[in-house]
Amino acid sequence: MPRQQSDQVKSAKAPVGRPPSMPAPRATILDAAAKLFAAHGFEGASLNDVARAVGVTKAAVYHYFPTKKDIFDEMMIDLLERQYAAVSTEVNAAATPPDRLKAFMRAQAEFLEGNHAAFVVMLHGFGGIEKNHWTEQQLALRDRYEALLRTLLADGKASGAFAIDDVATAARAILSLMNWMVRWFRPEGKTRAVDFALQYYALVVSGLQPRS
């Protein structure tokens, strides 16, 4: 009976890569890894650390993610896809360029707060500025997201709603404000990320010079 023989062989090898019994294993592993990479950096946390945080063996983690980089890659694709979906929905529901910009900044802050660890990993998971850990697919998703902001700014410039010299510079400035939040915003603090975003929105729209 070849079938049974095959099962026996498989069974003998099973302990090495047997799926652990946990609900939603991929999401559970990604969540634990995000917290560890956010705190200690991608280089500062091992697959062993991830397994220990989840409460399974390293072999169990291997079963789902053959390498630590595979965890990072899936975490980033998932984050970037969900970010675009969440933020573009809010932007598209707003009518005027100022309201669309406000929606962008609000939704981005809300998404940051709701996905804080993975967000920190995306923007601050690696020490140093060598970029070779990003895949083409991830870079394309990042570019699509930045284009969402540039398009709404360009629309506002075209309609006269915004006075903008250079759309790319304005978009970069707004993303800098939002991105640097990973370095100081604490989800356990008393102020919500959305409230900080609204303060930044008011600053970006009004400017420091008093309006007569």
Residues found near a second copy in the complex (CB under 8 A): 37-44, 98, 101, 120, 124-130, 153, 156, 160-166, 169-170, 172-173, 175-177, 179-184, 196, 199-200, 202-211
CA-CA-CA-CA dihedral for 124, 130, 135, 141, to nearest 10: 50
Closest distance to a second copy from the beta carbon of 77 (Å)? 19
| Contact criterion met (CB below 8 Å) for 33 and 75 | yes
Nearer to a second copy, 10 or 211 (CB): 211
Nearer to a second copy, 111 or 201 (CB): 201
| Contact criterion met (CB below 8 Å) for 73 and 66 | no
Nearer to a second copy, 82 or 124 (CB): 124
Closest distance to a second copy from the beta carbon of 98 (Å)? 7
Between the alpha carbon of residue 113 and those of residues 101, 117, 185, 190, 206, the distances in Å are: 18, 9, 9, 12, 25
Closest distance to a second copy from the beta carbon of 59 (Å)? 26
Helix (H, G, I), strand (E, B) or coil at 43: coil
Closest distance to a second copy from the beta carbon of 34 (Å)? 11
Q: Nearest CA to 116 among 38, 192, 189?
A: 38
Q: Which amino acid is at 96?
A: T
Closest distance to a second copy from the beta carbon of 70 (Å)? 18
Nearer to a second copy, 19 or 180 (CB): 180
Separation of alpha carbons 60 and 64, rounded Å: 7
| Contact criterion met (CB below 8 Å) for 75 and 91 | no
- Count how many residues are written for the chain: 212
Nearer to a second copy, 25 or 201 (CB): 201
